[in-house]
Structure 1
Amino acid sequence: MVKDKERKDEAIPDYVKSLEKVFKESDKDRRTAFYRYGAWRQSKRKREFYDYARKLENELGIPRYNPELGIPLGQRKIAPYEISKEKVVVEGEDMHICNNAAIMQLFDDIARTAIMDLTPAHEILQKRLGKAVTPETLNRVMEVWNHTIGGAAAVQEHMFEINPLLVRDGYVKLFSGDDKVVDLLDKRIVLDINRLFPQEKADVLKKAIGDKIFALARIPTIAVRNYGSAMTKRWVATTCLSAFANVYGISGETAINTLVYTLRHRTIIGIGDTIAVRYGRGENSPGGIPFGYICDIVQTDRVYPDDPVKYLLDVAEISSILLDAGWLQQMLSGGLGAPIRVLFLISNEVFDSIVEHMADWVVEKYGGYGKAPWTISTIEEVAKAGSKYCQDIYDSSPLVCEMLFGGSLRSRVMAYSTAIAGGLASGHPMIGVEAAHLSQMIRKERTGRLGFFAQDQFHNQGHANDWTLLTDQAQVMEMRNASYPDYNVVANLTTFPSAIAGAYIARGGAYACNPLVKIAFSENLAGFDFGNIRKMLVKGALREFMPEGERDPVIPPH
């Protein structure tokens, strides 16, 4: 009897076990109860918020948060979420961008990052200004630059400076593909590629960047909080100029102007491109981050090189946070946090199980990753397999449908898992993207709808838009971003990074798009750990994550 029970338990998918745990109902039940759960009071966080709001009403004298208003809550169970693989249960509100300090830091750490090629500046110093650039002078520059990056003065006296405790997370480090150059530098200011990456990946990255010297700069979190992400490149360039002027004794308007132009415009690389003015966001904002860069920001493939599926899941998750929850729901729509866009890919083992199944299907169907031909037949095979597997789960599991409580979420899970499978199968992101588009058309034929209005428009147009390279409309897939025409709808933007990540894993190598971005996010002295994304999100949900940029050093004790 015990063995029979064990076999029966083993046959139950992990996602069903997880969902039964949080919903406290059996997946075999075909009926449920309504209006018996206590409305919004069943949520621990909503009860807390209600109590806070009553105190605020007394303090401020105006109405505050009141869940009794608007749409009635509690027709069905407001279930918590079990984070896949982490086995930690969290409240939905704790994954709202504004309630989760780790998610806020994730945005900040991308926004405050820039990379600078020091070669043009060194050429100006040597050829135009007659200065000797040596390892000793470069070490001195880095010492001064790590002083100025925190808003400190280096070339003028009687300047008002920033409390170092407010800007503790601002720093600059150097990296190069030439080990001989790196060996001559102060180890404190070196980002060591050989230490951070497996040897095979380190060799690929060093070959890609060559013997140039690059600076990774992260300005203080409080700077992007106060002034916006467009400040990053200016802050980096200005603080670098101060360091050069201090160490090399540069003065004179012509010399300074030449260096200013070079540092601000010729040598610096942001993480997010300039986007249309109408969006009201500067450089380094989520809407301008190339999809391929997102794949390189994620470091799971470096930390867990033997678990490629974990990397693929993390790319989908961070893309959903940046693009679906952050860009579309917060920055363009405004106000509503849509925390479900953060949660649904990492909860209750559902998406994990689907992606793991599709990865196994690719190996079984094609004999391994990257072996499928680049043909329409491959697109059709992947799309049919992905859409059928997902839809069969939706049709057979009421609890899965209760967790993915709208057509929008169900279509996203299908699109993202199919995009990953297409990239894995072929090694080409376009196969993954096209398979994802087709999967949505298949689902619409089967169910009659996808989700929100215009969600299918994105996929209908995608078959044509994805292939265009007109300069004002498109770019190769890795270099596109969320601000392209027809992408700013309630759409499945995570489709693109998912397909790119799958293709990268299939091809092998060390980076998906840009080796500089891959190296830049391999180390973060203070802030978000991009190699352990779920652990960071859980720490934020449990209120264990300590963010940077807080104003405690200059405000009353609290």
Structure 2
Amino acid sequence: MSQTRTSKENTVVEEGRYWDPHAVKGNIEKGKTWERMSIRDDCGNMFKSKFGDIDFTSKNTEYYRFNGVMQSKRKSEAWEIAKRITRERGIPNYNPDLHLHGVQMGQRMLQTYKITGLEREWAGAEDTPAHPGWVPGTGIYGIEMDDVNYENNMAMQQSRDDISRTSINGMNIPHETIERRFGKEVTPETINTYMEMLNHNLGAGALIQEHVTETNPELVKDCYAIMFTGDDEVADSIDPCFITNIDTHFPEYQAVQLKDQIKDKIYQVCRIPTMALRTSDGGLARAWVGQQASLAFVGAYDIPAGDAVTSDFVFTIKHGDVVFTGTALPYRRAQRVNSIGGVPYGYYADICQSSRTPEAIKGLDGGIDPVKVTVEALTPGCVLTDQGWLHNYLAGGSSSWASYVMSVYTDEVLEDPSYYGADWGMHHYKCGVGEVPNTLKNGMQIAEVVGQHFLASYDLYPAMCETHFGGSQRFLLQCAAIGAATGALTGDTDLGQTMWMYNTHIEKEHCMRLGFYGHDMQDQMGCGHNASYRSDQGSPYELRNMNFPDQAMHVGHVGGYVGICGGSAHARGAAYSTNPVIKLAFADHEHIQFDWRYPRREYGRGALHDFMPAGERTVVCPAYAGGITANIPPMYEKKR
């Protein structure tokens, strides 16, 4: 499953030599970073599309004279909307003249962005709930920074919702309770009946009662329940519409691993309505499913609802074998289970499904491509942990912070050094991905090569510094590239994360500084903590989350940890990073609203305002209510 690189023509650096930043121009002209992608050769075109006909290699900034926010279509539209709101409400609204206390912002270019990697997709053409008929290989260009702000991007919000609204229940304990305590037989027929009832009442309908209030199905059409199991015989006996077929959703070598871990256990995956999260948090998912699943069991197995044994049975549904996507947070955070702040990094990596796409299996010269998995998992990791959690929830608003993490999934900048490091390492160590010995010496060597390559890019293209607005953002990208390359070559998550921290010294030696306050403390102490045995410092990265000490405000960096967890697991041939149950629970791309196989594509569609979110209430809004009442049956019209 790994690919050995033998040709020197495919590498920029000769065997045994480090990258020479002073010779960067000559090396770039001679070869390509990766022969199938040629990202470095496209950098000029990318910057030309962003900055126009200017010399983007020049260090002269005379051309940075623009018309402030009026150069942005989105901000111009927002200003006009705000003026109307101010007139209607009588209270001042958005006013870009107040940026920087009224200082005119005419000197910075508000350039557009390109979503990375979409042209290289050759799969994923199936219709999905959010956007039917997507054509693989379609690029997304011209996105403004406001388009990827969390509040403006429906795909980003939906990715958070789909995690929080998921409830995973093991069914073996409830089935055993039914057979032993109630004397009922559990068969494929009763399971199918139960699933039909559960899908009826999970979102809209009522059970055990009649003529009671129910929900308009259009409001909750994103709500459903399915199952998966590692037992092929059991899976074949259940109605296909209720089962996730592991063999058809995963490559053969991954399917074998997953079924071996799940064995004969049956798991139920429920997505409660997205609109339910509007008034609650992720903890609602367990309570919601516990209530509705209990009623479905009562109806399917004819269980007496008021029997004393029923309370024991209900306990098995709500607490017996429940898998949460995220742990409950400390009291000061005021969030229950399934909050994005409590999702372990390894779970984020498993939620992302890019490791089972054809591009990740046969993308790197016919072999597995862990860099693809890293950068895809890194994207929702950054969006959700940084924009959705740190800035939107903890800091109290995510406006302006989207600019911080958008660099990891735009303009091909992260892919270039990541693939360069993987390509260099396969040639230098004469082995495939996941096969380089995971020694500290090798990790430091990879980190230094990739780090110097990245720093040389900023020297060659000053326009990159304009695109990446601060040292902390450039530090994030360099660390992510080093971690991606190290994890891809060694298959070792901890070594990849440690080299992320080691980069603090590489960059500080070059630039004399990193970013703002958090980086000097949290990242420089990371090398020691990664090797610590203390429980509050040295947990495996797959099991850490946003509430781990020293990382509660790790601005912009946690997404990188997520990507390294996913890419390293893929490099060593693993089907999942941390939990096979989580991996399988988010594999049903044909049902779930956000397609986790291609998170970058989904966020790009959200930026184009072309992603249809779930939980919309238009069917009961005034514009639609008139149409409903106008078509009521004549018998009711007479009564009115």
Give the structure-1-normalised TM-score: 0.95
Q: Quick one: percent identity of the two aligned structures?
A: 34
Distance 1:226 1:362 in 2: 50
Residue 182 (str. 1) matches residue 235 (str. 2)? yes
1:96 to 149, 156, 160: 149
Aligned pairs for 1:478-557 within 5 A: 478-491=542-555, 492-524=557-589, 525-557=591-623
The 8 Å contact of residues 50 and 113 in structure 2, kept in 1 or not, is answered as yes
Residue 282 (str. 1) matches residue 340 (str. 2)? no
String of CA shifts for 1:194-227, please: whole Å, max 9, x gaps. Answer: 1211222212211110011111111111112222
The 8 Å contact of residues 372 and 425 in structure 1, kept in 2 or not, is answered as yes
Query: What residue is the counterpart of 2:362 in the other structure?
Result: 306
User: Could you say what secondary structure the match of 2:177 adopts?
Assistant: helix
The 8 Å contact of residues 362 and 424 in structure 1, kept in 2 or not, is answered as no
Shift of 1:322: 1.4
Shift of 1:156: 3.0
1:311 partner amino acid: V
Query: What residue is the counterpart of 1:350 in the other structure?
Result: 413
Residue 450 (str. 1) matches residue 514 (str. 2)? yes
Residue 262 (str. 1) matches residue 316 (str. 2)? yes
1:41 partner amino acid: M
Paired residues in the alignment total 552
2:391 to 317, 329, 333: 329
Shift of 1:325: 2.1
String of CA shifts for 1:250-280, please: whole Å, max 9, x gaps. Answer: 2235222212221112211111111212123
Query: What residue is the counterpart of 1:381 in the other structure?
Result: 445
String of CA shifts for 1:156-198, please: whole Å, max 9, x gaps. Answer: 3443221111000100011111111111111111111112112
Shift of 1:18: 0.3
After superposition, the Cα gap between the structure-2 partners of 1:513 and 1:469, relative to the gap in structure 1 and judged at 3 Å, is same
The 8 Å contact of residues 378 and 431 in structure 1, kept in 2 or not, is answered as no
The 8 Å contact of residues 420 and 501 in structure 1, kept in 2 or not, is answered as no
Residue 22 (str. 1) matches residue 50 (str. 2)? yes
Give structure 2 stretches of 5+ with no counterpart. Answer: 1-27, 33-39, 119-138, 364-368, 625-640
Aligned pairs for 1:42-57 within 5 A: 42-57=71-86
Distance 1:358 1:326 in 2: 30
1:196 partner amino acid: H
User: Could you say what secondary structure the match of 2:200 adopts?
Assistant: helix
2:575 partner amino acid: A
Greater displacement, 228-237 / 376-385: 376-385
The 8 Å contact of residues 116 and 268 in structure 1, kept in 2 or not, is answered as yes
Distance 2:64 2:249 in 1: 54
Shift of 1:37: 0.8
1:409 to 473, 476, 484: 473
The 8 Å contact of residues 175 and 192 in structure 1, kept in 2 or not, is answered as yes
After superposition, the Cα gap between the structure-2 partners of 1:117 and 1:301, relative to the gap in structure 1 and judged at 3 Å, is same
Give structure 1 stretches of 5+ with no counterpart. Answer: 1-6
Distance 1:298 1:140 in 2: 31
Shift of 1:236: 1.4
Shift of 1:151: 4.3
Shift of 1:467: 3.3
2:600 partner amino acid: R
Query: What residue is the counterpart of 2:130 in the other structure?
Result: none
The 8 Å contact of residues 167 and 271 in structure 2, kept in 1 or not, is answered as yes
User: Could you say what secondary structure the match of 1:116 adopts?
Assistant: strand
The 8 Å contact of residues 427 and 507 in structure 1, kept in 2 or not, is answered as yes
Shift of 1:111: 1.1
Distance 2:384 2:168 in 1: 20
Distance 1:490 1:247 in 2: 48
2:187 partner amino acid: T
Shift of 1:356: 1.4
Considering only aligned residues, what root-mean-square deviation do their CA atoms show, in Å? 1.9
The 8 Å contact of residues 474 and 484 in structure 1, kept in 2 or not, is answered as no
Query: What residue is the counterpart of 1:461 in the other structure?
Result: 525
Give the structure-2-normalised TM-score: 0.83
Distance 1:353 1:23 in 2: 20
The 8 Å contact of residues 194 and 300 in structure 2, kept in 1 or not, is answered as yes
Shift of 1:400: 1.0
Greater displacement, 446-455 / 430-439: 446-455
String of CA shifts for 1:510-557, please: whole Å, max 9, x gaps. Answer: 111111111111113141111122221121111111111000111112
Distance 2:280 2:214 in 1: 17
2:306 to 252, 257, 270: 252
Shift of 1:64: 0.2
Shift of 1:142: 0.2
After superposition, the Cα gap between the structure-2 partners of 1:249 and 1:51, relative to the gap in structure 1 and judged at 3 Å, is same
String of CA shifts for 1:445-479, please: whole Å, max 9, x gaps. Answer: 22111111121211122123323454556532211
Shift of 1:426: 1.7
2:321 partner amino acid: T
2:261 partner amino acid: A
Residue 424 (str. 1) matches residue 488 (str. 2)? yes
Residue 209 (str. 1) matches residue 262 (str. 2)? yes
Distance 1:463 1:372 in 2: 20
Residue 153 (str. 1) matches residue 181 (str. 2)? no
Shift of 1:331: 1.6
2:65 partner amino acid: R
Query: What residue is the counterpart of 1:4 in the other structure?
Result: none
Distance 2:483 2:312 in 1: 46
1:500 partner amino acid: C
Greater displacement, 517-526 / 63-72: 517-526
